Amino acid sequence: MTTRIESPATTVAGTVAHAIAEVLGLDPAGVDPVIRPSQFTDLQSNAALSLGPVHGLRPRDLAQRVVDRIPTDGPIAHAETAGPGYLNLELSTDWIAEQLSSLSIAERHDATGRRIVIDYSSPNVAKEMHVGHLRTTVVGDALARMLEWSGHTVIRQNHIGDWGTPFGMLIEHSLDLGRGSAELDRMAEDPNAFYRAARAKFDASPAFAERARRRVVLLQAGDAPTLALWTELVDASKAYFRKVYGSLDVSLTDEDLAGESSYNDELAGICADVEALGLARVSDGALCAFPEGFIGRDGAPAPLIIRKRDGGYGYATTDLATIRYRAAVLRADQAVYVIGEPQATHLEMVWAVAREAGWLPSSTETVHVRIGNVVGADNKLLRTRSGDGFTLAGLVDEAYRRAAEATDREHAIEDDDERERAARAVAIGAIKYADLAVPHDTGYMFDLDRMLAPVGNTGPYLQYAVTRVRAVFSHPRAAGHDPNATIVLDTPEARALALLLLEFDATARAAGEAFEPHRLCALLHQVAKRFAAFYDAVPILTASPTQRDARLRLCRQTEAVLVRGLDLLGITAPRRM
């Protein structure tokens, strides 16, 4: 099923817009009914406050005339004016129940044909991924899933750093170790060790450093044996990335790799074109573009270096290539970059040059999803005790250890395999959810205890809600219930829960399209809370058979929303925990 579910707010907005349009003689398509949640009833419209004066009416009078035209035999049960010109709208409980009874959460919506290219994760070869990479990976992956589910064509681009001067020393080091060395294999486990060893030699031995420099020249010249050695290193790193993505349940595959090196052949041409268009000139030996509107600290036009003094190309040049490729070849309607906040100016300058060069048509929209910093308890960028950046594997292991402690304490799961899988799902869910539940551009403090807390806006709280709903169904008293029973909303808790469930589809789509997964998190958290309130206050399995079945159906819809919502965030719910 791929039907679009209108949220109650959207349905009401349509009705109210029509009524306003009739009263004022306008086209309903141009009327914003300003629907908001209400403190006193379900929803309210604030439109009369601003529209009244424009049309020479007192807001209260306009609101009254709109109320008179709102049918109250459909979705809206009752409408009345309040205060200076608000319009309070109470939904029909029968209508809510009917909507929810026929609700089927889409597996995936039909393709709408928009092409969204999304760059995320993008770690560097021969280096361990750190917490910053973790956040762009988690946020990017959730966005890719959400947008794909909404019916967009999503093209993932993992722009790994697989080129540049460090490869000189890395290749020389691997040559020293000899072909087929175990060190290279170990890179898939611990890439930092290899990098550090190479670096140490580079710093200690001038002869090694000289070899490394000559190797870079050979690499850039496309020397075949050098390229073969480089490929070995990159492959070892790819194995590491695959392992990390697999263990984190991230949807990136080798197909999505589009590393810096894949643009090598285009860089000289890009520089030549930019220069020929008069958009760049040599300054201090380097070829620099000066896109309009960018001023440096000294008040002079800020340069974007596209060819260094030594003739090499850098990060800006490859990013000119990425945007050109994504617009022209991948035909992106939207080119989305999920990368660190500090890279904002870099991206804007690159896009500006690309636009001036005619590579970025107005039909391709660019978006920077700014990723904020994750800091440790001391408010500094996350570090381990030894002073190194906290490694991703170390972090996941620690979360797993703590989650496993909790599952062991509960003694709820006898089977060892299942217990271990549950602890893993909880650990990963906790880490991912912490990245997703706050706006992506705000920094936050990395605190495993808070992430793993069983209550609050956390992954485990949502996962726990799922296990609770599922437990209801595995109870003997649920046996023989009618899975298609019509939902009846005979308690306030049930009604409140139902209303939220109907918002899921629209919220999940809007959150993806606004690149704000935290809005989906907020909805799911509310659902879990309202489910808990319902579960605590309303008897389900001990109710009369018809009531039981109607309530079980409400539970099923809750489960569907929570499971689908978590899935869109890249989080699985264990059967038990």
The footprint of ligand ARG (CB under 6 A) covers 119, 122-124, 159, 161, 319, 322, 337, 339
Give the shortest CB-350-to-ligand ARG separation in angstroms: 8
382 or 487: CB nearest ligand ARG: 382
Secondary structure tally for the chain: helices H, strands E:
21, 13
- 464 vs 535: CA distance, rounded Å: 13
CB of 134 to ligand ARG, least distance (A): 12
Tokens of 158: 């993992």
Q: How far is the CB of 329 from ligand ARG (least distance, A)?
A: 15
Runs of H (alpha helix) within 191-251: 191-204, 206-220, 224-248
Among residues 339 and 488, whose Cβ is nearest to ligand ARG?
339
Tokens 């605190």 correspond to 447
Q: Closest distance between ligand ARG and the C-beta of residue 72, in Å?
A: 54
DSSP state of 490: -
Q: How far is the CB of 248 from ligand ARG (least distance, A)?
A: 17
Closer residue to ligand ARG (CB): 11 or 157: 157
Please state the three-class secondary structure of 363-422 as a single string.
CCEEEEEEECCEECCCCCECECCCCCECEHHHHHHHHHHHHHHHHHHHCCCCCHHHHHHH
Nearer to ligand ARG, 57 or 271 (CB): 271
Kindly state the smallest distance separating residue 120's Cβ from ligand ARG, in Å: 8
| CB of 339 or CB of 451, closer to ligand ARG | 339
Beta carbon nearer to ligand ARG, 319 or 493: 319
Q: How far apart are CA 168 and CA 211, in angstroms?
A: 8
Nearer to ligand ARG, 161 or 168 (CB): 161
CB of 337 to ligand ARG, least distance (A): 6
- 84/270 Cα distance (integer angstroms): 61
Strand 43-45 and strand 86-91: the pairing is: antiparallel
In contact, 375 and 446? CB cutoff 8 Å: yes
CB of 228 to ligand ARG, least distance (A): 24
Identity of the residue, 119 or 549, whose beta carbon is nearer to ligand ARG in the bound complex: 119
Q: Helix 191-204 vs helix 224-248: angle between axes, to the nearest 10 degrees?
A: 140
User: Is-contact 457 525, C-beta < 8 A?
Assistant: yes
Give residue number: closest CB to ligand ARG. 122
CA pair distance 237, 194, nearest whole angstrom: 11
Ordered alpha helix ranges (H), 42-130: 47-54, 59-69, 93-101
Report the residue number, 320 or 425, with the smaller CB distance to ligand ARG.
320
Distance between CA 190 and CA 17 in Å, rounded?
60
Shortest distance (Å) from residue 322 CB to ligand ARG = 5
